[in-house]
């Protein structure tokens, strides 16, 4: 069994997956504002639902020290530095791998497209904007700490980060609606333009074979797929072709399945 834990700003998901990638057990609980309380909650879940794990993977927002298994800079969570690996390893009685949540979502989507596209750029448009590059079904280590949402763009006469003009939070602040409630084509055209501006800059540098858009806004990809492609086409030139732009296949479960893929690969490599 593989342990997968997805730490969200408001909820934490704990799931047990079989070796074949089927969810055997899962439970959610509100993510506490204090890290020790979170450890206590996870401890209770693992104690009340004992299982023999091969490996555990924890998806966390923010910066990851992969060697030490420490997460920091959580954004909406005031946790400071969280020594997740050292806290959970004795509880789960297995190796614990800690990885960024967006990278794991990207790994899930990139693995699904493996064999069809070699280089897959995953972009999450949610509260913020972030991304991951998956090459042949594996996370590109050269971009493991990349923060695409923080590239700078000129907007209304000022330099602004991409996520400050195109994220789900910005959409709500500007229009007073969440992506799920927006039906006006004019609003989606404006949103699509701001997404396209930052995305094109990444395309120019990375040149992926395909792009997958996930996250909360990505869930509604069909609403803005056409205007997004329209704006990207106006920016296209022979040196920067526009690849296929796809909606996430598993928008809601991408992180959990990313935990599974990373866990299985890591365990298999460590036990050859």
Q: Are residues 111 and 77 in the same domain?
A: no
Q: Which residues of the chain have pLDDT under 70?
A: none
How many distinct structural domains can be found in the chain?
A: 2
Give the residue ranges of DSSP H helices in the chain.
Answer: 35-48, 84-92, 101-112, 162-166, 168-175, 185-206, 215-218, 221-235, 254-270
Q: Are residues 87 and 114 in the same domain?
A: no
pTM comes to 0.93
pLDDT in tens, 250-263: 877 899 999 999 99
Domain region containing 85: 2-99
| Per-residue model confidence (pLDDT) at position 192 | 98
Pairing assessment for the beta strands 119-125 and 129-135 based on DSSP bridges: antiparallel
| Per-residue model confidence (pLDDT) at position 173 | 96
Q: Is residue 31 part of a domain?
A: yes
CATH number for 217: 3.30.420.40
| Per-residue model confidence (pLDDT) at position 127 | 87
Q: Are residues 126 and 226 in the same domain?
A: yes
Burial 111-135 (b: 16+ CB within 10 A, else e): bbbeeebebbbbbbbbbbbbbbbbb
Q: Is residue 233 part of a domain?
A: yes
Q: Under a CB-based contact definition with an 8 Å cutoff, are residues 179 and 216 in contact?
A: yes
Q: Are residues 111 and 221 in the same domain?
A: yes
The tokens for 82 are 């969280």
| Per-residue model confidence (pLDDT) at position 75 | 78
| Per-residue model confidence (pLDDT) at position 40 | 98
Q: Are residues 111 and 162 in the same domain?
A: yes
| Per-residue model confidence (pLDDT) at position 204 | 97
Q: Is residue 154 part of a domain?
A: yes
| Per-residue model confidence (pLDDT) at position 9 | 86
Q: Are residues 128 and 222 in the same domain?
A: yes
| Per-residue model confidence (pLDDT) at position 253 | 86
Q: Is residue 235 part of a domain?
A: yes
Q: Is residue 12 part of a domain?
A: yes
Q: Which of 99, 126, 143 is the last residue of a domain?
A: 99
């Amino acid at each position: 069994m593989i342990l997968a834990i997805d730490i969200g700003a408001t909820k934490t998901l704990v799931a047990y997956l079989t070796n074949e990638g089927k969810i055997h057990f899962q439970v959610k609980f509100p993510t506490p504002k204090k890290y020790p309380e979170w450890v206590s909650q996870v401890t209770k879940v693992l104690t009340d639902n004992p299982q023999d794990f091969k490996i555990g993977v924890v998806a966390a927002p923010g910066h990851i020290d992969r060697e030490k298994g420490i997460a920091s800079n959580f954004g909406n969570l005031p946790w400071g530095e969280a020594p997740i690996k050292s806290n959970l390893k004795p509880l789960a009685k297995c190796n614990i791998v800690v990885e960024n949540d967006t990278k794991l979502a990207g790994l899930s989507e990139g693995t699904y497209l493996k064999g069809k596209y070699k280089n897959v750029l995953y972009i999450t448009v949610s509260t913020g904007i972030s991304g991951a590059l998956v090459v042949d079904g594996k996370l590109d280590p050269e971009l493991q700490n990349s923060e695409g949402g923080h590239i700078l763009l000129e907007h209304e006469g000022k330099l602004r980060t991409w996520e400050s003009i195109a994220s789900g939070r910005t959409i709500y602040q500007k229009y007073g609606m969440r992506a799920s409630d927006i039906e006006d084509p004019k609003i989606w055209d404006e949103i699509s333009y701001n997404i396209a501006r930052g995305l094109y800059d990444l395309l120019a540098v990375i040149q992926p074979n395909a792009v997958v858009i996930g996250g909360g806004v990505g869930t509604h990809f069909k609403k803005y797929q056409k205007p997004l492609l329209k704006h990207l086409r106006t920016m296209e030139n022979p040196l920067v072709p526009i690849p296929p732009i796809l909606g996430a296949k598993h928008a809601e479960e991408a992180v959990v399945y990313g935990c599974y893929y990373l866990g299985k690969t890591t365990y298999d490599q460590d036990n050859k």
